Structure 1
Amino acid sequence: MVASGRRSRRPWLVAAGVVLVAVLPACGPDEQPRATGTSSSSTTAAPTTTTPPPPPPPPPVYPLTGVQAPGVVNRPALAVKIENSIDARPQTGLNMADMVWEEVVEGGITRYVAVYQSAVPAEIGPVRSVRPMDPAIAAPLHGLLAFSGGQQQYVDAVGAAGLQVLSMDAGSGGFYRVHSRRAPHNVYATPQTLLDQADGAHVASPPPQFTFAGPGQPPSAGAPAGVVRLTMSGVSHPSWTWSPPDGAWLRSEGPSPAVEADGARLRATNVVVLSVNVVNTSARDPAGNPVPETQLLGSGSALVAIGGTVVTATWSKASLGDPVVLTGPDGAVVRLAPGTTWVELVPLRTGSVTTG
C-alpha cells in the first residue's frame, strides 16, 4: 500500500516540477514580477504647446489722410493761408493738400487753410493774410502756420495757440512774388523752404484730425447723394459732385468747374460741412469791411460726404487745441474714407447746405 502510494504521488510531483520549471525562469530569485496592468504611478507627458507670434503691427499711415505710407514719415504739418477771390484763381498746390478748410472772410469771399504733411508740392499760392479763426483750425496740428501778414493781434494769437509763425511780412523765408499776377494776389511760397524753418518744438508729425476707416473696415454708411450744394455767403456758392470714375468729389465755383493752375479739377475724397456761428469782430479790412470770425468751439450740426453718400452728424470741439470730433446719429464717431478732406465752415444764419 505504501509503495502503491508513492507511485501514485510521483506523477503529481513530476507534473508539479514541470510547472515550476516553466514558471520559475520567468521570475528569478532577485527579480520582481512584471506589472500586468497600468500602474497608478505612471505619468503622461504634457502636450507641447507653441505660443503663436503676436500679430504684426498695423502698417504706418499718414495721420491726416489715413492712407497707408511706405514708412514712418517724420514731418510736421504745414498750414498755409490760400486766397480764393476771383483774382486768385486758379490756385496752385491745393490738390496736394491733405486737408483744406474753407472760411468766410470780409466781403463774403472765402479763403483756405491748406494743410500739407503727406506730400510737399513745389509751389503753393496765392498766399494771403491770417484771420482770427485760423488758430482754432491749425492749433490741433501742433505745426507751422504760414501767411503773408496780418493784424498783429491775429499774428500773436497764432503763437499763443502753440503754432510756429511763418510770416512774409516778418521776414520768414520761402515767400516770393510772381510777375504774372498783380499785388496782393501774387504772393507764392515754396513749402519745403517753409518746413526747413521748423524749430525744435514744431518738428513732430501731427496727430490725426479725423477718424479714418482702417484695413477691412468700411467708412460710415450714409444716404445716397450725388451733389452737395453750399451757400457760404451772397457771393460764394461752391458745390461738390460725386464722380465714380474719379472716386472723388469734384468742386465747382457756382456753375464753373474749379480747377488748379495746371487745369486739374479740384477734388476731395471726403467733404465735411460744419454749420458754425460767424460773428463780426471790431477789426476792419482796408476797404472798411468788418473782419468776421468763425466760432469753432462748442458743437453744432454737420454733414459728411463720403463715396457718393452723405452722413448726418454732429461736430464738437472741446478746446482750441482739440480737433473737431464728428459723431453720427448712432453716437459712434464717423469714419471717413482714407484720402484728402475738405472742411466747409458754413455760416449758420446766412449760409445753407442742400444735397441731391
Structure 2
Amino acid sequence: MSYLTIDGSQGEGGGQVLRTALTLSILTQQCVELINIRAGRKKSGLLRQHLTCVLAAQEICGATTEGVELGSTRILFSPGQVKSGDYHYAIGTAGSTVLVCQTIFPVLALAKGNSTITFEGGTHNGMSPSLSFFEHSFLPLLKSMGVNGVVNIFSLGFYPAGGGKWQIKIEPTNKLAPIYLTEAGCNFAKLSQNCSVQALVSLLPENIGQREVDTAKKILNWPDALSEVQSVVTTGPGNSLQLGIKTDTHRNIFELVGELGVSAERVAKRAAGRVNKFIHAEAAVEEHLADQLLVPIALAGVGSFTTTKPSLHTTTNIEVIKLVLGVEIQTKQLSDVLWKVYLEK
C-alpha cells in the first residue's frame, strides 16, 4: 500500500494541514501518512478536537488507521468508501465543532445521499471560525455551488465551558459548481444599508454587548446599521461581537470573542479595525472565508475571488491542496491591499 506523506509542520504548522489532508484523502481515495502533526503549535499532536476530526473522517468512510490517539504526532489513514447517513460527534471540550464539520462536510457534500450530523462542543471560541460564520457566511456560498446545508442550533458553546449542540442536514450534489467572486458585491459608499452589528451575551451583564455595539457603530460610522444585543443561554459565560457586511452572494462576518480583562470598547475597536481593512481593499471575501473556500474551489476545478492579503493559514492550505490534488491555486497581488485567488483549468 502506497502512502502520500504530508508534513504537518509545513507553513503555519497547525490543524488545517490535518483537516485538509483527511478531506482530500477520502475524496481521492489516496492513503496518507501525516507526520509532525501540529508541530507549529505550543502543544503539538492531536488534541481532543483534532482527534474527533480524524475519528469523524474515519467513520464516514470506514477508513483503516494507525496511531490515532490523543497526543499522536503521526498517523496513517487509508480511506474506504463514503457512506452518507446520520452521525453524531461530541468533542468533550470547548474545541471547535465547526472545524470538525468542515473536515467531513466537503466529503458528504459530494456523497450519494443525504446526511444529518449532530455536533457537541464549542461553537464560539475565538480561535477558529464560529458557527455563526459557518451558517451565515460559508453555507450560502456552498449553496450557490450546489450543496444545501441547513443548520439547527440547540445551544451555543463558548470557550472554555463548551456545551454547544447543533445539527446540520446536508443535501449533496454530484459536482460542485464554480464560483467567481471578484467584485465587492456591495456599494461601500452606502455601506450602512448593508451592514449589521450583533453581540451575543451569555451569563454576563447585557450592557457589555450594548457597549460593543455602540462603540462599533460609532467607529465605523454605521448609524443606520441593523443592530442587536442577543442574550443566549450557554453552559458557561461568553460574549461574541459580530460585524456583518451583506453582499449580493453572501455575508462577510468579522467576529471577535470577548476575553476576561479586555474591555467591550477594545473588542469593538479590534473588530472594527478588521472591517475597515476589508472596506479599504474593496474585496469580495474576508480573510477567514478566503481560507475556507479553497477546498470547494479546488473540488470544483475552477473559480476565483478577491480578498485581503492571504494569511499563512491560507497559503499553507494551498500547498496541501497542491500536494494531494496536483492542482495549483494561484494568488496575485492587484494593489497594496487587494489580492486575487484563483484556479484556472
TM bucket normalised to smaller: under 0.3
TM-score (ref. length: structure 2): 0.25
TM-score by length of 1: 0.25
Between structures 1 and 2, the one with greater strand share: 1
The structure showing larger relative contact order (alpha-carbon pairs under 8 Å, at least 6 residues apart) is 1
Asked which structure has the greater CA Rg, the reply is 1
Select the structure that is richer in helix. Answer: 2
